Amino acid sequence: MAMAIRVFLLSLLFFSLADHSFSLYEDQAGLMDWHQQYIGKVKHAVFHTQKTGKKRVVVSTEENVLASLDLRHGQIFWRRVLGANDAIDGVDIVLGKYVITLSSEGSILRAWSLPDGQMVWESFLQGSKPSKSLLSVPINLTVDKDNVILVFGKGCLHAVSSIDGMVLWKKDFSAESIEVQQIIQPLGNDKIYIVGFVGSSQFDVYQINAKNGELIKHTSAAFPDGFSGEVLSVSSDMLVSLDSTKSILVTINFQNGEISFKKTHISDFVEDHSGIADILPSKLSGVFAVKINTLLVFIRVTAEGVLEVVDKINNAAAVSDALSFSEGQQAFALVEHVDGKVLLTLKYSHDWNNDLLKESVEVGHQRGLVHKVFINNYIRTDRSYGFRALIVMEDHSLLLLQQGATVWSREEGLASIVDVTVSELPVEKAGVSVAKVEQNLFEWLKGHILKLKGTLMLASSEDIAAIQGMRLKSSEKSKMTRDHNGFRKLLIVLTRAGKLYALHTGDGRVVWSLLLPSLRKSGSCEHPTGLSVYQWQVPHHHAMDENPSVLVVGRCGPNSDASAVLSFVDTYTGKELNSLGLVHSVAQIIPLPFTDSTEQRLHLLVDTDKHAHLYPRTSEAIDIFQREFSNIYWYSVEADNGIIRGHVLNRNCIGEVVDEFCFDSRELWSIVFPSESEKIIATVTRKLNEVVHTQAKVVADQDVTYKYISKNLLFVATATPKASGEIGTATPEEASLVVYLIDTVTGRILHRMAHYGSQGPVHAVFSENWVVYHYFNLRAHRYEMSVIEIYDQSRADNKDVWKLVFGKHNLTSPISLFSRPEVIVKSQSYYFTHSVKTIAVTSTAKGITSKQLLIGTIGDQVLALDKRYLDPRRSINPTQAEREEGIIPLTDSLPIIPQSYVTHALKVENLRGIVTVPAKLESTTLAFAYGVDLFLTRMAPSRTYDSLTEDFSYALLLITIVALIAAIFVTWVLSERKELQDKWR
């Protein structure tokens, strides 16, 4: 009996403590991670709202995404992400069941199934001359009759069958000098008109037989004043354009192939006009729009070619294409911004005086201006026509407006993140009222009433949904305060639209968003571009009343010599604290490891003239900076010229106005790579905020080696010019890859290694004293990953215990980068079966936890690979001591374990970057991957050795304790009974 009880107790203890699986169960999805899908800024939109089937809109975006969206809720029915170089030029729907896309500069035509997005056919259109891409789908296309799609691209006109994608005929214009502008096919006509320019002053018209592609007639006419820009079709035989000065409107009539021009001065329509005139590309029937600064002029073209001004509108935002909604009737939408609201007006194309619809909608001032508008009609219950508008905003968001309200919105700006930083959440303070925590006392009372109704089973389905939403909002992982383990943070992301978002790491929701005024287009900043975002003020524990803030750096142009703009934003409230328009450019931003009394971090902004500007511009900052003046070095990389330079500060800038915050620099050293044999293709350095737990590393024989830890190490990869392009552009004999480790203070090359027969692209990550990089081996026809570890030999004698006892060690001797370091380098290479987009490494609070590489694969997933697999000390037969240390036996390739995919079965489409953020819990790190999609998860590279997992069975532990107590009591009773029986014998 006692033996059976012992076996039961041991079995119960084993099962309670055993970890059965390290995999992710289905019900655990979303517990420690979240995934959000986006599509990007919409370029084209085509509605499909037939009586049968789902109401949808098919869109293409600047992120090369084709998607079908639900018109009711804005959700994605299906989505197809094309390649990075496969930009979509045109989209249309044919036969009511195919979505047609033209991409890759008019060379690829595809048909996709409308219900599910599966590709039906694909045609590669040949051509040799770069040209404008045009897609023309006839309006009267039917299944049993005309099924021809016209495509112009690569200098050729193709007629393609919409059923199977076969090219029916082809007309080559590559030998001609014409720059084709439009394809015009009049309704019910077998002729196709190809119109365009030859040079800048000749207009040509080609008449093509639509059935066989034969040339019927070619006509040309000279226009001495010259043309500027594109032409716009206003009818089947009339075009309009601007002359070379953009001050005269030119109407072009090519009826029956005879070309005639008619000039009209813009000053006839707009007196004392100043600025450049542009014709909007909106497709309207008999009407076109000219924009002059903020004035939009609508002009009608009569049958005789006479131009008449219809209306003049100030501050108009966008104009849609014409929409045929009933027999013989067309309408278009005009969007204006009035009193902070969007005014949507629908007008008849033939009757300007009567408005078909006029609605004012509040869309939020943080979305900016309307960039594009697409309209669609539907039949109301009273059989009248209703209209909906799909609008694309300045911040790239997408909204559907209907009946004066926003039906749904999508934050598509998050599909184009350019930089990420992290901010801590506020500390949860004692004594804060419930009303303040819940943001609103009424909401708090309403929430408790709903919970009471749910307890009494009186809640309706809407109440239950509200209760679930409140529980999700009030759950621990989504609270707006810091947690003990440091899992809850704010991700501050900057998008290509110049908008700043704060995302909660718990559930990925947008806490606040700010369209930065300094990064919006204006007269002083024509082409604003957001560059990066940095932590500016991070209050310490003694200054918790201060809110942290970030610094956003941008420039007013695409080139590096454009003037810079700075913006300072509060990370708790999302308010812009200050902004600066700088007179100098920004080529480099260097965060310095110094802060002032208000915890503001000092930054150096280096312009294209190598002048360093200190921020913040305060007397305290300059005093701190002057004390460290002689210890500040930086480097610059000129990849195009093959030069790396080292710089040091010299003195204050000498100019007309004395600026104590501006400093000249002088060049300390330079490394010039020979252009005929080496081209810089990759550089990487350590993170400035990386924490290294210890410099010493204990190896298998109880010996100690010292890592060469330096924040001034730079990894550089160069390749032969032929091998710097895509894979296959060079033979193994022509290709070689050379990597360097360079000290950026002295310019000394600490290590150089060549990989002959290899080429880029190179993706690398630098951490502590090692660097891992990925490249392609042409000889083996496989990808490879190599590791380099660098160790400090100058401290090798410190391992002697007697020297430590007698004080003869050199642990306290100063270290200078100008003294030649004694280093030893170990390296190893392995085959890797995947192409790579980006590489990152996990980071923890104290740097104790072992490292894992996070590899963004070509399949847009993130793979976690233990750094031990990339240990250069691996050997085929490791010794027993090495095995105890954790050295893995050497293999020629790196393993890919399916369970090691951090993203599980999900994909982060168009993956561009991976950011790791340490939590307070040493075992755990947060990994954030971004592209068109967003994904965040918690990782424990060495497992959660310092905490219990969230799926730990506390109930089983309690049962085990209760069973042990019961077993102890039963065993004690049986033992007493047995002892009593033994005494009676």
pLDDT band per the 50, 70, 90 thresholds, residue 803: low
Do 659 and 559 belong to one domain?
no
Average pLDDT over residues 94-115: 91
Do 643 and 629 belong to one domain?
yes
- Cα separation, 234 vs 240, in Å, equals 7
- Cα separation, 930 vs 936, in Å, equals 9
Closest CA relative to residue 372, chosen from 399, 350, 345, 349: 399
- At 20-40, the pLDDT tens digits run 334 454 445 566 789 999 999
For 867, the 3-state DSSP assignment is: helix
Q: Which of 656, 672, 688 is the last residue of a domain?
A: 672
Do 445 and 471 belong to one domain?
yes
Mean pLDDT estimate for the chain: 85
pLDDT band per the 50, 70, 90 thresholds, residue 13: very low
- Residue 965: give the domain boundaries: 953-984
Do 591 and 581 belong to one domain?
no
Bridge partners, 206 (sequence order): 194, 218
Do 423 and 556 belong to one domain?
yes
Indicate if the pLDDT at residue 903 is higher than 60.
yes
pLDDT band per the 50, 70, 90 thresholds, residue 764: very high
Who's near 687: CB < 8 A, 6+ residues apart?
767, 843
Q: Supply the CATH number for residue 423's domain.
A: 2.40.10.480
Please report whether residue 705 resides in a domain.
no
Average pLDDT over residues 935-943: 90
- At 38-77, the pLDDT tens digits run 999 999 999 988 766 788 999 999 999 999 999 999 999 9
Closest CA relative to residue 501, chosen from 425, 398, 413: 413
Do 521 and 423 belong to one domain?
yes
Closest CA relative to residue 59, chosen from 408, 372, 322, 289: 372
pLDDT band per the 50, 70, 90 thresholds, residue 14: very low
Is 890 exposed, middle or buried (CB count within 10 Å of its CB: 0-12, 13-18, 19+)? middle
Do 658 and 514 belong to one domain?
no
- At 543-577, the pLDDT tens digits run 556 789 999 999 998 888 889 999 999 999 999 99
Contact call for residues 39 and 76 (beta carbons, < 8 A): yes
Average pLDDT over residues 253-260: 80
- Per-residue model confidence (pLDDT) at position 80: 95
Please report whether residue 791 resides in a domain.
no
- At 419-437, the pLDDT tens digits run 999 999 888 765 443 344 3
End-to-end Cα distance, the chain: 20
Q: Which of 585, 600, 632 is the last residue of a domain?
A: 585
- At 823-864, the pLDDT tens digits run 899 999 999 998 999 999 999 989 888 999 999 999 999 999
- At 663-701, the pLDDT tens digits run 999 999 999 999 888 999 999 999 988 888 887 787 766
Please report whether residue 240 resides in a domain.
no
Is 112 exposed, middle or buried (CB count within 10 Å of its CB: 0-12, 13-18, 19+)? buried
Contacts 24+ apart (CB under 8 A), 20-27: 22/899, 22/943, 23/899, 24/904
Do 467 and 488 belong to one domain?
no
What are the CA-CA distances from residue 640 to residues 561, 608, 609, 786 (Å)?
Answer: 16, 15, 17, 25
Which segment, 438-452, 579-593, 816-830, is predicted with the most confidence on average? 579-593
Which secondary structure element, helix H or strand E, spans residue 7, and what is its range?
helix 2-17
The secondary structure of residue 280, as a DSSP letter, is: -
Do 423 and 555 belong to one domain?
yes
Q: What percent of the chain has pLDDT over 70?
A: 87
Please report whether residue 637 resides in a domain.
yes
Q: What percent of the chain has pLDDT over 90?
A: 40
pLDDT band per the 50, 70, 90 thresholds, residue 601: very high
Which segment, 365-374, 414-423, 474-483, is predicted with the most confidence on average? 414-423
- Tokens 């005093």 map to which residue? 623
Do 569 and 594 belong to one domain?
no
- Per-residue model confidence (pLDDT) at position 5: 46
- Cα separation, 237 vs 802, in Å, equals 99
- Per-residue model confidence (pLDDT) at position 313: 86
